[in-house]
Structure 1
Amino acid sequence: MEFSFNKEQELFRSSVRKYLHSIGQIQVARSFSEGDTVPFKKAWQGLAELGGLAINIPEEHDGAGLGQLDLALILKELGRVLLPGTYLETTSFAVPLINLFGTSEQKQMYLPDIASGTKKASIAWMDHGRIGDRPEDIQLKAEKCGQTFTLTGVKTLVPDGDTADLLIVPVRTSHQGLSIFLLNKESHPWKSKVLESVDETRKLTEVSLEEVAVTSRQMLGPIDQGWSILQQGLIYLNAAIASMMIGSIERVVETAVEYANEREQFGQPIGRFQGIKHKLAEMQIDLELAQSLTYYANWAIDSGAGDCEIAVASARAFATEALIRTASHNIQIHGGIGFTTEVDCHLYLKRARSMENYLGSIRNAYESIAKGLGWCKGEEQPVF
């Protein structure tokens, strides 16, 4: 199958790349990791003004009404510069779930603000002390009293929980059932604590909920059906993660090739040596395969293809492994300087490792592929 993007898609991708170049590309991520969030805030608002946050939001809610493949092009550009923040969680988890399961009131309350860049969303999935990818690992309870639910507990590994405006929170509403609540920081403030993370460009936090009272109006989808809703969200999110990763892989390959052509040893560029030359070729193959799998996965979501879940799991697994491989090769090609903070090599490897087990692992992806192909009959469905 041939994937050729139309003129409008290419123009929009080009405009995003030019904008990211104008604001310093990866310097935004470097500043963010050092505690200076001003460049990131400007970048976020600039993306909103370009329409980058409205891509998959329906037109009736101030969006562009486009699809997952259109979003993938922008995610790829953001992956090239390791953009911080919750663009992934906002556009590729919150928006699809609100589109699919939100009430008219919820859509009107959140989608226009997301499109304008004034509201950022994050995921408060993991319970403190119960980190895992199974339904039983979610133990934070919603105590019901009349029409009100009270949430008390701690969620951990929440991306940018200190700056997010909207939290998607899965909680236990019965012995066997999970439900999802949308917490708006304006009306239901929470406490947060920044955690240490291997990837300084991607901030993780611990969020404390202390007797937060919510109603069924803030519940996303039917009560006790939260786990199946989360699985739907993971399809979109994992396709988006793969899309961002191919941008990172592309930039890693470019960086490695540039250095191999500039760095000389024994009177010639190191790129002429077989060991380096073959490694660069392997990295390019990883890029091409990851792109093909990822573009197909996003197309499968848009078209409702029968192999959609298999395609997304394949893209997520391969892109993750490919980014780890290429980022590691890039450090080796750079030699001793590749381990220093002066060059960008380490930032891409840290991003790869931080995303390796984010809301599902490579193992989960392989299990999804095997079960989707009917190789594991009788077993429960995987995480995504």
Structure 2
Amino acid sequence: MDFSFSPEQDQLRAQARSFLEKRRDGASWPELARLGWTGASIPEAQGGAGLSFIEEAIVFEELGRALYAGPYFSTVALALPALACAPELLAKVASGAFTATLAAGTAVEARRVGDRWLLRGETGLVPDAGAVDAFVVHARGPDGIGLYLADPHDAQARIRVLDTVDASRRLGRVTFADHDARLLAAPPAAAKIIASTRRRALAALALEAVGVASHALELGVEHAKGREQFGRPIGAYQAVSHKLADTYVETELARSLAYWAAWCIAEDDGQAELAAVAAKSYAAEAAVAACERAIQVHGGMGFTWDHPLHRYYKRALWIEAFDRSAAAHRAEIAQAVLGG
């Protein structure tokens, strides 16, 4: 079987890498839209490219490699499945005119007053809470958990942006006090969207983790080839070379798991949930280990803020902490594999 990427997919990767080497800050969002990345999987009828999650997966990996700081993960992985309930919003996402994030948790309640929905309560941790145009909110209504669209600029919403280990991807908490909202999906349809969103988010972060690990490995290899001790490149010593070899093996295994998850999601395969959980569990740990080893290979310089490795390490830690720990994910895998 041929698992290679198509020429078009290889071209997308090359385009993404070239662009992100120059523009990796959040201000480049309109340019991402012009390149078609924000609407990669959005249907052509809504202004998107009509591609699959495989193409988005390539972009996610390259964004992780570049430590992109804009709300791509929040909008495309976390919010897009729910925004599909409002086709006019998909067109705005594709054009770059609209960003959103997911405000999940169990402490927000929704009540209907006439023809209005009002939200009250505090969310869990919300990625990019202070940097998006809308929140997709999990809220408990009279019939169960539904999905609601809320404007963060409404006076009835209070946003607290938190100090986090990765300053390029901030988290926040949002408190609603009878905040007007639009119902996107009522129970039980909302449950299917929530499950789909989790799969996409875990796979996306696994792919970002692969990008982080790949670049950490590149930095470590480059330094090991160029730095000499006792008349030899330090990469000639097993204490260094074996660390980098371990990183290579783990990164390639993580890449295989991440793209398996992406394929399962693109094909709506029955293993999509298991694949996404497995990919996130393994790839996040691999990225953390890759950064730690690269820092060790660099010696004292690797511990300084003048070197970029600390930023990759912080992104890897952020990815590892999202949703659940690797141990909790593996317990989930064990339950799925063993049953019961």
Q: Which amino acid aligns with 1:77?
A: E
Q: Secondary structure at the match of 1:22?
A: coil
* 1:250 pairs with 2:218: no
Q: Residue in 1 aligned with 2:235?
A: 271
Deviation readout 1:131-190 (Å, 9 max, x if unpaired): xxxxxxx1221133233222122324222211211211111114x721110124467873
Q: Deviations over 1:233-273 (max 9, x none)?
A: 10111111111111111101000000111111112111110
Residue 209 of structure 1 corresponds to 176
- In structure 2, relative to structure 1, the CA distance for the partners of 1:351 and 1:22 (3 Å cut) is closer
The answer to whether the 8 Å contact 2:150/2:179 transfers is: no
Deviations 1:340-371, CA, capped at 9 Å, x for gaps: 10001111111111122212332332133223
Q: 1:94 to 1:44 in 2, by over 3 A?
A: same
Quick check: 112-121 or 199-208, which moved more?
Answer: 199-208
> What is residue 235 of structure 1 aligned with on the other side?
199
Aligned to 2:284: 320
Question: CA 1:298/1:182 → structure 2, altered by over 3 Å: closer, same or farther?
Answer: same
Alignment-mate amino acid for residue 317 of structure 1: S
Give the superposition deviation at 1:224: 5.8
Q: Which of 72, 75, 100 is matched with 2:60 structurally?
A: 75
Give yes or no for the alignment of 1:260 onto 2:228.
no
Residues 99-248 of structure 1 correspond to what in structure 2 (within 5 A)?
99=84, 102=85, 106-108=86-88, 110-126=89-105, 138-174=106-142, 177-185=144-152, 190-214=157-181, 218-223=182-187, 226-248=190-212
Which letter maps to 1:107?
A: P
* TM-score between the two structures when normalised by the length of structure 1: 0.84
Matched, 1:348 2:312: yes
The answer as to whether partners of 1:297 and 1:308 remain within 8 angstroms in 2 is yes
The equivalent residue for 2:41 is: 56
CA contact (8 A) 2:156 2:178 kept: no
- Tell me which moved more, 261-270 or 303-312: 303-312
Q: How many residue pairs align between the two structures?
A: 340
Task: Give the whole-Å Cα distance in 1 for the aligned partners of 2:280 and 2:319.
Answer: 10
CA distance in 1, matches of 2:270, 2:174: 38
Q: 2:150 is aligned with what amino acid?
A: L
Aligned in 2, Cα 1:357/1:191: closer, same or farther, shift over 3 Å?
same
**Residue type matched to 1:191 in 2?**
R
For 1:294 and 1:243, the matched residues in 2 are separated by 6
Task: Supply the RMSD in Å over aligned alpha carbons.
Answer: 1.9
How far apart are residue 45 of structure 1 and its match?
1.4
Name the counterpart of 1:5: 5
Aligned with 1:150: secondary structure?
A: strand
Q: 1:189 to 1:68 in 2, by over 3 A?
A: farther
Secondary structure of the corresponding residue to residue 356 of structure 1: helix
Q: Is the 8 A contact 2:154 2:179 kept in 1?
A: no
Q: Which residue pairs with 2:74 in the alignment?
A: 89
1:181-205 Cα shifts (integer Å, max 9, x gaps)? 0124467873322211111111122
Supply the distance in 1 between the matched residues of 2:19 and 2:207 (Cα, whole angstroms): 19
SS at the partner of 1:213?
Answer: strand
Partner residue, 1:47: 32
| 1:376 lines up with 2:339 in the alignment | yes
Q: Residue 227 of structure 1: CA displacement?
A: 4.2
* Distance in structure 2 (CA, Å) of the matches to 1:19 and 1:225: 38
Shift of 1:327: 0.8
Task: Confirm or deny: 8 A CA contact 1:150 1:213 kept in the other structure.
Answer: yes
> For 1:97 and 1:156, how far apart are their aligned partners in 2?
18
Going from structure 1 to structure 2, the CA distance change for 1:198 and 1:341 (only over 3 Å counts) comes to same
- Structure 1: stretches of 5+ with no match in the other structure: 29-39, 127-137, 378-384
Q: Which amino acid aligns with 1:352?
A: A
- For 2:101 and 2:31, how far apart are their aligned partners in 1? 20
Any idea what SS the aligned residue of 2:130 has? coil
The offset of 1:2, in angstroms, is 4.0
Unaligned 5+ runs, structure 2: none
| Alignment CA distance shift 1:305-1:225 (3 Å) | closer
**Letter of the 1:208 counterpart:** T
Q: 1:14 and 2:4 equivalent? A: no
Are the counterparts in 1 of residues 156 and 177 from structure 2 also a CA contact under 8 Å?
no
Q: 1:188 to 1:12 in 2, by over 3 A?
A: farther
